Amino acid sequence: MAKLKFGVFLPFYAFKAYNSTEQYQRLKSAVQECDRLGYDSVWIDDHLMYNNTSILECWVTLSALAASTSRIRLGTMVTCSAHRNPGLLAKAAATLDVVSNGRLEFGIGAGIQEAEHLAYGFGFPKPSIRIAQMEEALEVIRRLWTYPKASFQGKYYSLKDAICEPKPIQKPRPPIVVGGSGEKHTLRVVAKYADRFDWGFLPSIEDYRRKLNVLHRYCQLIGRDFSEIEQSCWPSGQILVAHDQNDLVLKIAEFKPEGISIDSFKQYTLVGTVEDCIRGFQAYADLGVTYFMLYFADLPNTDSLRLFKKAGACLFG
């Protein structure tokens, strides 16, 4: 198997059992451990509210994590295009790239949480409109990152001789990861703007292969080389790694929710030794995937991410 990249997803709900101060400290410790172990990236989600759960604001948190790490790349999985004016978002992202010395991974999506949008007064139009807004936002952001002066007039956003200085350190700009798997609208945006896509966890490799074919056709329509877009995947909704089969039985007993059968649990959880997990990656690697997103089911405990790195060290570039 070729050398691969591994990103670790650290969502708010993995740390929600703690008060706000301890929540951040636990998150920081997990990020620093990923940095020390040699993972390529860490990713946090972007929500302003989720029921009554404590959630840290994404961009402020990433800035703090940038100061607490030295090598690992820092990503948004994904920032919601509706939550911030794209000009302001471009400025914040450029600043983060500067203060992190060029370690930003810019993930963006059209948003899916209706209650959150309505509570904060953003509105929640139908998906085609939200995706059109995201597309315009990406044009605004890309221009601000790369043009000395940026102007743009769209249906939803506009710029007039806007200056974004300092520019991001990464050239020509930070990598753009477009989140979402809709074949009618989102994949068109992926074909036009993305350096990498993120479709989340898909139920089967057949679904993944079909979306690859759709994206390939969109690239052909606009004359873009499909190979310019890095292929990413979630091999499962979450991963539970064990030393051996005995350890695996104990971990399943600990982390499988009550009332859920083992078969149902395994439908969204990749369960096994590191060697089992690697075999589960192979079919995706054969399709050209080089970037794997991992959500370890035992977070905030870092046992699984340490075990995966130690036993799978040969996979890390």
C-alpha 154/C-alpha 262 separation (Å) is 50
Report the residue count for the chain. 317
Residue 285: give the domain boundaries. 5-315
Classify residue 102 as left (phi > 0), alpha (psi -120 to 50) or beta: left
Collect all residues with Cβ–Cβ distance below 8 Å to 131 and sequence separation of at least 6. Answer: 110, 180, 182, 185, 186, 189
Tens of each residue's pLDDT in the chain, 317 residues = 568 999 999 999 999 877 888 999 999 999 999 999 999 999 999 999 998 888 999 999 999 999 999 999 999 999 999 999 999 999 999 999 999 999 999 999 999 999 999 999 999 999 999 999 999 999 999 999 999 999 999 999 999 999 999 999 999 999 999 999 999 999 999 999 999 999 999 999 999 999 999 999 999 999 999 999 999 999 999 999 988 889 888 999 999 998 899 889 989 999 888 888 888 889 999 999 999 999 999 999 999 999 999 877 667 75
Quote the distance between the C-alpha of residue 307 and its chain's center. 22
C-alpha 266/C-alpha 117 separation (Å) is 33
Task: Quote the strand ranges of the chain, DSSP E.
Answer: 5-9, 41-44, 73-76, 79-80, 104-109, 150-153, 158-162, 176-179, 196-198, 232-233, 238-242, 269-273, 291-294
Domain count, the chain: 1
Query: At 147, which CATH number?
Result: 3.20.20.30
Count CB neighbours of 280 within 10 A: 15
